[in-house]
Amino acid sequence: MIDMIAEKDHLQRLTKIGIALSAEKDIDKFFKMVLGEAISFTNADAGSLYRISRDKKFLDFQLVCTLSKNILLGRVDIAKWPSVPLYNDLGKNNLNNFVSYIVHKQEIINIEDVYNQKIFDNSGTRKYDKANNYQSKSMLGVPLLSHEREVLGVIQLINALDDTGKIVSFTEKHTAMLTSLASQAAIALSNKELVTSLEDLLNQFIRTIAHAIDKKSKYTGDHISRVALLTEMIANSVNRDNHIFKFRVFNSDELQEISIAAWMHDFGKITTPEFIMDKSTKLESVYDRINLIETRFALIKTFLEKDIYRFPDRKDELSREIEILNRDLVFLKDLNKGRIKFSDSTLEILNRIADQSYHISGKEVYLITEDEYQHLKIREGTLSAEERHKMNEHVLVTEEMLSRITFPRKFRNIPRFASLHHEKLNGNGYPHQYTEKDMPLQARIIAIADIFESLTATDRPYKDGISLNTTLRIMAEKARLMEIDKDILDLILDTEIYRTYGKRYLQPHQIDQVNVEEIKKIYRD
């Protein structure tokens, strides 16, 4: 009767393990169920579950239990237990450990007395027993084999006990049961490794594409990787925060999701023309048209110098004209680089130059053409309105392209998070003019990371990388205007993420003193 009850309990536990095989997401919990049932059914004193390391050179402890040593299942720090090498110093198979022997032989091993057998070299077992004041005797080990007959791990049981506590041999019934459990564990491990390998492949693919996009431009070589790193830093700080975000914690899947979204936020730049991405001056197209203006000015000066010889009485007037041309050319060259702060007085000077013309060889020649004028009067950066619109289209392309990809369910928000980094909380962003209620925290984090990286970057052709203090003051102003999230900016300031990032990526002169309280007053008062 007792045996029937025990058998019934065992079947129920096996059924539970079978259900957990498809339902349990935490593989460690599943392995704990498997090893726990194996120890219970065989009445073993000790048991271990090992996994093959990623480099295929070691067996790593996954779980360990020794009841007589009060080492309970799931209550020991596995990291402190040394891995078992699969190969010796000469690169040959390690057959000195029971579990490594099982890996290389790929078969079930049932040993009545490990000290009196000739199956494998038991020096590893003797060494373990001596170091831990233990006496191993009966052993049962089963390899965890994938459908391709690849060993994924090993389940090992030590010292089966009878009802009196005496060490006995493992039975054929024990072997059959452990084989069944090992099969289920192998399936779970195969599924886990399949998912892991697919996620690794996805991450490698994403980083490769991001690297290729960054390399499209000779000026923004590591923009995407830096934005991704900063995004991860902020997201991890959210999890550690006990004040602003104490009720918001990202789980491991959400952290991975936001990281992937950050890596893919500029995915649409695949379609952005290189001449726009690399436009380092306002007049640059296939080449920098400032060279045409220089040639035009040189031609006009040549004619004016000839007129000085032809009309000596006009020498002073013509010399002043040449001096003005020289100054105007310097002005246009500086304006072309986008480094002059565009003001009303700047526009007045540009308008005067644009209206100036000379009659040369019967033709009226203007100092600059209408098209050159339109590009030179760009107030910020080097892109015209049309070019900036084309550049901004990468957000829509990112949204469209990523929406076509069937991501795993846990990563389903990647297209949304990645494509909102140019939106603003006040509704004045691009492309959808979303407001605060439409912007999830993950997208706000990526948006702030993108702005911070762009402001501090030292590889942009139209600006120098600005200091931390100036960057944070600009971002504080954006927070005041409700363009970016104030709470995230608080977190960046309070945890000094800005300084950690700066030490890694910025030039020494950019890492200046930051008065956190003064900066917060800009958007908090």
Which CATH number goes with the domain that contains 13?
3.30.450.40
Determine if the peptide bond prior to 431 is cis (ω within 30°): yes
Residues belonging to the chain: 525
Between strands 84-85 and 109-111, the pairing is unpaired
β-pairing, 363-366 vs 357-360, is: antiparallel
Residues 296 and 371 in one domain: yes
Domain range enclosing 342: 290-376
Measured in degrees and rounded to the nearest 5, phi and psi for residue 388 equal: -65, -40
- Average confidence score pLDDT of the chain: 84
* Most confidently predicted of 318-322, 410-414, 443-447: 443-447
Instruction: Give the pLDDT band of residue 79 (cuts 50, 70, 90).
Output: confident
Q: Provide the 10 A C-beta neighbour count for residue 222.
A: 17
Residue 73 clears pLDDT 90, i.e. is over it: no
pLDDT at 464: 64
Residue-wise pLDDT for 97-140, tens only, equals 899 999 999 999 999 999 999 888 888 888 888 988 999 999 99
**Boundary of a domain, candidates 354, 376, 398:** 376
Two tokens at 431?
């492309």
At 376, the amino acid letter reads: L
Domain assignment present for residue 486? The answer is yes
Three-state secondary-structure class, residue 59 = strand
**Cα–Cα dist 312/316, whole Å:** 9
- Cβ proximity of 445 and 234 under 8 Å: yes
Do 168 and 22 fall within a single domain?
yes
Q: Is the pLDDT of residue 1 over 50?
A: no
**How many domains does the chain contain in total?**
3
Contacts of 398 (CB under 8 A, 6+ apart): 264, 265, 266, 267, 268, 415, 418, 419
446: domain CATH number is 1.10.3210.10
396 shares its domain with 518: yes
pLDDT at residue number 369: 87
**What is the model's pLDDT at position 21?**
46
Do 472 and 336 belong to one domain?
Answer: no
Domain presence at residue 104:
yes
Do residues 172 and 223 share a domain? no
Give the pLDDT confidence score for residue 20 in this predicted structure: 46
Which of 160, 195, 230 lies at the terminal end of a domain, its last residue?
Answer: 195
Q: Are residues 19 and 142 in the same domain?
A: yes
7-17: average pLDDT: 53
On whether residue 407 sits in a domain, the answer given is yes
Q: Two tokens at 162?
A: 């009878």
Choosing from 342, 376, 410, the residue where a domain stops is: 376
pLDDT digits (tens, 9 = 90+) for 215-225: 666 555 688 89
The helix/strand/coil state of 139 is: strand
Q: Is the pTM higher than 0.85?
A: no
Least confident of 7-11, 20-24, 408-412: 20-24
Residue 144's SS3 state is: strand
Lowest mean pLDDT among 87-96, 437-446, 454-463: 454-463
242-295 pLDDT, tens digit each: 888 988 999 999 999 999 999 998 887 776 666 655 556 666 766 778 888 888
The DSSP letter of residue 78 is G
Same domain, 418 and 270: yes
The answer, yes or no, to whether residue 84 has pLDDT greater than 50, is yes
The per-residue b/e assignment along 73-109, b for 16 or more CB within 10 angstroms, e otherwise, is beebeeeeeeebbbeeeeeeebbbbbbbbbbebeebb
